[in-house]
Amino acid sequence: MKVEKISRSPIAELKRHVDVIQEAFKQALIPDRVTVEYPRERRIYPDNLRGFIVLDRSKCISCFRCAQICPANAIQMSLYDNFYPGVDYTKCIFCHFCVDSCPTGALASSNLHDMAFRSLEEMKVKATQMTRLPTIVREDKQSVEYFVTKKDWKLQRKKELEDISVLRIIPRIKPRRAFCEEPESCLGCRQCMEVCPHDAIVMERCEITLGGEVIGKGCILKVTEKCVGCGLCVRQCPMQILALKEVE
Partner 1 sequence: MIDEILATLMNVFRSNSMQIPLIQPIVDYLMQIPLINILVALILWRPFFAVVIMPGLAVLLLYLLYIVWFERKLTARIQWRVGPLEVARPIRGAIQALADGLRYFFQEAIVHRDAHRPYFVQLPILAFIPILLPIAFIPAGNAVGIKTPYAIQLIVAFLALIPITIIAIGWASNNRFAFVGSVREALMYVAYEIPFIIAVISMIYLYGSGDPYVAVEKQSLVPGAILNPIAFLVFLITMLMATSRLPFEIPEADQEIAFGPFVEYSGMLFGLVMVLAYEKLYIMTLLFVILFLGGWNGFYFEPLGDLNAPLCLFIKTVVVISIIAIVRSMYARYRIDQTLRYSFSWLIAFSMVALGIGVVLGWIL
Give the nearest distance from C-beta 27 to partner 1 in angstroms.
4
Give the nearest distance from C-beta 20 to partner 1 in angstroms.
5
Signed CA dihedral, 54, 246, 82, 84: sign only: negative
Give the nearest distance from C-beta 30 to partner 1 in angstroms.
10
Q: Please give the distance of CA 93 from its chain centroid, rounded to a whole number.
A: 10
Nearer to partner 1, 35 or 119 (CB): 35
Nearer to partner 1, 43 or 124 (CB): 43
Give the nearest distance from C-beta 33 to partner 1 in angstroms.
4
Nearer to partner 1, 19 or 182 (CB): 19
Three-class secondary structure of residue 29 per DSSP: helix
Q: 231 and 65 in contact (C-beta within 8 Å)?
A: yes
Eight-state DSSP code of residue 145: E
Q: Which of 50, 41, 34, 37 is nearest to 162 (CA)?
A: 41
Q: What residue ranges bind partner 1 (CB under 8 A)?
A: 20-21, 24-25, 27-28, 31-35, 37
Three-class secondary structure of residue 19 per DSSP: helix
Q: How far apart are CA 55 and CA 53, in angstroms?
A: 7
Nearer to partner 1, 11 or 79 (CB): 11
